[in-house]
Structure 1
Amino acid sequence: MKSELFITALFLTVSGTTFSQTIPDSLKPISQPLVTDIYTADPSAHVFNGKIYIYPSHDIDAKIPEDDVGGHFAMKDYHIFSMTSIPGKAVDNGIALDIKDIPWAGRQLWAPDAAYKNGTYFLYFPVKDKQDVFRMGVATSKSPVGPFKAQPEPIKGSYSIDPAVFTDTDGSSYMYFGGIWGGQLQRWQTGNYNANSKEPAATEPAIGCRVVRLSKNMLEFAEPVKEIKILDENGKELLAGDNNRRFFEGSWMHKYKGKYYFTYSTGDTHFLAYAVGDSPYGPFTYKGVLMEPVQGWTTHHSIVEFKNKWYIFYHDTQLSGKTHLRNIKVTELTHNADGSIKTIVPYVKVK
């Protein structure tokens, strides 16, 4: 089924805002929610000690009107889930970090990620500071499920949202981060915060995700932040008006057969896309759609290898039908023989 049909079936645009629709009766999801007693989203999955740990957002209904900058996503804490098999039960290990225990935090505890090094687990999170500017924080624990203790200040030089930490085969760790619109990345185009900064014109290069190598202690940036370039098939940078392919938010990195796969959400066009490069810094060449649109406004994913198979963790709004009350899911991901990724269609026709 073509992407355009999914968009028509699943989304309705009113006054510039895209609202969630229910899945048509003619379609059924390829996977079911992993968690049903609370709402979860943005699942960052990792394998630690032979077990899968999932670090998602915890959606709540804060009764805030929906808008284009995500004001209705008012999350306040994190629950961490663990799995020993796929398919299998996702075990809730309780609250790992609460916004009230982050000294510098203001509001909106958005999508996190995690990493492990030298006996310590690190939880990376974006949250608006008391000036309502998104910064990146880090918390530590001796257990993958916490509880985590937040550092007293945000990471120096950090901004925007959606941290994704990738550790390469040489042991170097990199953070990928950023999101436009509500993620405020467009406000940092000069390297300094400008609340009035706009997105580039449609014919100008798109704003890129950020990447930075982390320090050995995993608590700081070890170098200046760099901007990732995504190129088209002719080696030209993707333009801001290329909404079906340009970066919006929700980045992830995985390595497969020596190549670096940068995957991300296109946001307002609802695709998960992928681009491939030879370095963790890029540039990356756009290769195609990783996953067709899901029910809800957008999706945010992670990709992990477990027991010799690859999986993608993602979310939709199957349980609630509301964009801010999501549920996490998992399905298998396939790398083709030529290195491409088989496009995942999240809903299929009912037979």
Structure 2
Amino acid sequence: MKHSKMPKTISLSLIIFFLSVNAFAQNPLIMDQFTADPTARVFNGKLYVFPSHDIVPPKGEGRAEWFNMADYHVFSSEDLTNWTDHGKILDQKDVPWADPKAYSMWAPDAVSKNGKFYFYFPTRLKDAGDGEKGFSIGVAVADKPEGPYKPQPNHIQRVEGIDPNVFIDKDGQAYLYWSRGKIYGAKLKDNMLELDSEIKTFEEIPQKGHIEGPFVFERNGTYYMTYPHVANNTERLEYGTSDNPMGPFTHQGVIMDESASGTWTNHHSIVNYKDQWYLFYHDNDLSPDFDKNRSNRADSLFFEENGNIKKVIPTKRGVGITASTSEIQVDRYSAKSNYGAASVFLDRLDPFKGWKVVLNKPEAWVKYNKVDFGAEGSKNVKIRARSLTGGTVAVKLAGQDNKEISKVTIQKGGNWEVFSAPVKSEATAVQDLLLQLKSGAGVEVDWVQFEK
């Protein structure tokens, strides 16, 4: 997967156009910056993601070898395939009560009420000193989900901690949840800026091991309290259920296991968009050697008949439908053969360039699901590839008979080139795509694209 660099003189409108037409449907969702702690919300029929923003701070600032976050961006999509970066919505320097050099703008949330949009964020207070104490939660308010957001002059009184989450029940009552070693919660006043009850400590949540990041949602009258918990080595996602947004919550199980990459944190949100539930979370895809620079991911989430959450298995493919005429990043595959197929960085020194598929044994394959061929089918297929030995790649529709629709010859050579071949059989509608090495000792594939 490649991400082109934009000229510095490009206009804002062109930036928005550029970003909105580039498909980042695969995991990770965003390929030009680090994004973590994603809160996904639906506003005005569109899905918005409010993540934190991992950065490498200027020399001499922030905390070396730790999380450093100075600002927030917001991203939106209507199809979970094309994402728009609406730019920076809040900076640590703009918060009156915050330490402007703390680099502690950690996991946020955003909700809509009374015709306004409320963005909740944690950061360190001025003169707070070191350690986990000294954090509070602030609110910034906007007329549109993409901002601009204006931070309130003071943080929420009586709240000490991080990871704000706001849940608005069907009766309009809003609740604020947060963490600091344990999970806490309270009602919010109608102004969404002040607590309206005593603070509850959710002692029924497992207390052994680090816990943070609460996210509460409701489905069919059941309230779900979800959270990251270090039960063994790193954070996994767990949940409990209740018939009341203030609990008590009964522990039910694990939503997502510890990351295979060893990333110490996971922070998430769960959202229903167009009648499908999704889990948004993060991992260290673009920074495999440093897990403090993370990237947002999304995968579909499903429920058992009794309301229990089925465990989510992370995928590279992610969510959304990819147009056949786009550059299909098959390195974000849905499945692969048990031999001779792998996804590796195009350039290890520049992970933002993305990945390539390496097929190095005959019959090795990768499958990429949900490609929209439209109603007319395609005339040709193009593959950006290279091979030191040359080879042949079969392009198939994944299914019961894995129907071959084209075969592309990759010429011998060490440089990336685009090779093409006619499509022999019409492919229409949404299909799963399969690429298989038919000859040669090794072929590297960057992307596949169909032409009408």
* Corresponding letter in the other structure for 1:95: K
* Corresponding letter in the other structure for 1:309: Q
Q: Which stretch has the larger CA shift, 291-300 or 110-119?
A: 291-300
2:87 corresponds, among 84, 90, 94, to: 94
* Corresponding letter in the other structure for 1:98: D
Question: Residue 136 of structure 1: CA displacement?
Answer: 0.6
Correspondences of 1:203-242 after superposition (within 5 Å):
208-230=182-204, 238-240=206-208
Question: Residue 179 of structure 1: CA displacement?
Answer: 3.5
User: SS in structure 1 opposite 2:255?
Assistant: strand
1: distance between equivalents of 2:38 and 2:239? 18
* Corresponding letter in the other structure for 2:64: P
Correspondences of 1:33-44 after superposition (within 5 Å):
33-44=28-39
Of structures 1 and 2, the one scoring higher in RCO (CA 8 A, sep 6+) is 1
Correspondences of 1:141-160 after superposition (within 5 Å):
141-160=142-161
Q: Say if 1:80 and 1:95, in contact at 8 Å, map to a contact too.
A: yes
2:68 corresponds, among 71, 74, 79, to: 74
Q: Which stretch has the larger CA shift, 249-258 or 268-277?
A: 268-277
**2:297 matched to which residue of 1?**
329
1: distance between equivalents of 2:153 and 2:137? 12
User: SS in structure 1 opposite 2:163?
Assistant: coil
1: distance between equivalents of 2:184 and 2:52? 21
2: distance between equivalents of 1:73 and 1:82? 24
Question: Residue 350 of structure 1: CA displacement?
Answer: 4.5
Question: Residue 46 of structure 1: CA displacement?
Answer: 0.5
2: distance between equivalents of 1:75 and 1:239? 28
User: SS in structure 1 opposite 2:213?
Assistant: strand
**1:168 matched to which residue of 2?**
169
Q: Say if 2:188 and 2:194, in contact at 8 Å, map to a contact too.
A: yes
**2:124 matched to which residue of 1?**
128
Q: Say if 1:39 and 1:325, in contact at 8 Å, map to a contact too.
A: yes
1: distance between equivalents of 2:227 and 2:249? 12
* Residues 243-299 of structure 1: CA deviation (Å, up to 9, x unaligned): 3xxx60111011111110100000453210011111111111111100112231111
2: distance between equivalents of 1:272 and 1:83? 25
The runs of 4+ residues in structure 1 deviating greater than 2 Å are: 62-66, 347-351
Distance 1:148 1:266, change over 3 A: same
Question: Residue 225 of structure 1: CA displacement?
Answer: 1.1
1: distance between equivalents of 2:207 and 2:254? 17
Correspondences of 1:204-283 after superposition (within 5 Å):
208-230=182-204, 238-240=206-208, 243=209, 248-267=211-230, 268-283=233-248
* Corresponding letter in the other structure for 2:311: T
Q: Say if 1:31 and 1:331, in contact at 8 Å, map to a contact too.
A: no
User: SS in structure 2 opposite 1:209?
Assistant: strand
Q: Which runs of 5+ in 2 are unaligned?
A: 1-24, 129-133, 317-334, 338-452
Question: Residue 228 of structure 1: CA displacement?
Answer: 1.3
Distance 1:143 1:239, change over 3 A: closer
User: SS in structure 1 opposite 2:245?
Assistant: coil
Q: Which runs of 5+ in 1 are unaligned?
A: 1-29, 67-71, 181-207, 232-237
Identity among equivalent positions (%) equals 42
2: distance between equivalents of 1:152 and 1:332? 39
**1:285 matched to which residue of 2?**
250
Question: Residue 31 of structure 1: CA displacement?
Answer: 5.2
Give the TM-score normalised by the residue count of structure 1: 0.76
Question: Residue 345 of structure 1: CA displacement?
Answer: 2.0
Give the TM-score normalised by the residue count of structure 2: 0.59
* Corresponding letter in the other structure for 1:90: W
2: distance between equivalents of 1:329 and 1:147? 25
Q: Say if 2:27 and 2:315, in contact at 8 Å, map to a contact too.
A: no
User: SS in structure 1 opposite 2:76?
Assistant: strand
User: SS in structure 2 opposite 1:105?
Assistant: coil
